[in-house]
Homo-oligomer: A and B are copies of this chain.
Amino acid sequence: MNHTTGAAEDYLKTIYTHTEWQSDLISPSALAVRLGVAPSSVTEMVKKLAASGLITHVPYGPLALTDAGRLRATAVVRRHRLIETWLVGEMGYDWDQVHDEAEILEHAISDRLLEAINTRLGFPAHDPHGDPIPAADGTVLRPPAVLLAEATVGHAGSVLRVSDRDPAVLRELAADLIGPGTEFTLAAALTIVLADGQSRLVTPAAAASIWVTA
């Protein structure tokens, strides 16, 4: 009686990822924007997900996952990120090209194929963008992080993850050899110095996409 369609999976996943690196709950309208659907469509799906016990929702209020919903959401996120990792690791994709393909395949592959991929990849802990890959039981290991745009000048650390929302940002950073694991010091707003002493000017869009060690 609880099948969860591809559409519902995307709603759950988006509700989950919204609170992954920041703590405020998502609103129906923000969810509509992220999913590219009308607000009224969100209202409808929210009703169904709440009726299935996957989210909680007080009318006119924000959305929150229940434990059951969080488990479903992390299962989808796990698929999405393992697929992205596989596309980059084995299929010749660049990190700015994987998101759309994963967005579809995450609803199509079987558990068996997912585990075959996972095994081939050696059970990776992070996707190409540095996002943690949830374990099958829903466990997620997420270190404390700060947005580069909000870090104070002088902050030293390493890149934890880069949002994969904007492919242009990903290409920009790839050209600059910046990615998860890159060590740096924030020399000035939008200016980082890498371990080898080279400095890089990042765009505001990039600074708002890069999360670094706290």
Give A residues with C-beta under 8 Å from B: 87, 91-93, 100-101, 104-105, 107-110, 112-113, 116-117, 120
Contacts and interface: CB of A to CB of B under 8 A. Distances in A.
A120 B93 CA distance: 13
Contacts of A107: 108
A91 B116 contact: yes
Within the oligomer, what is the number of copies of this chain? 2
A116 B92 contact: yes
Nearest to A105: B108
A91 B108 contact: no
A93 B104 CA distance: 22
8 contacts: A87-B113, A91-B113, A93-B116, A104-B108, A104-B110, A105-B105, A105-B108, A105-B109
A120 B87 CA distance: 13
Contact of A113 (B101, B110, B113): B101
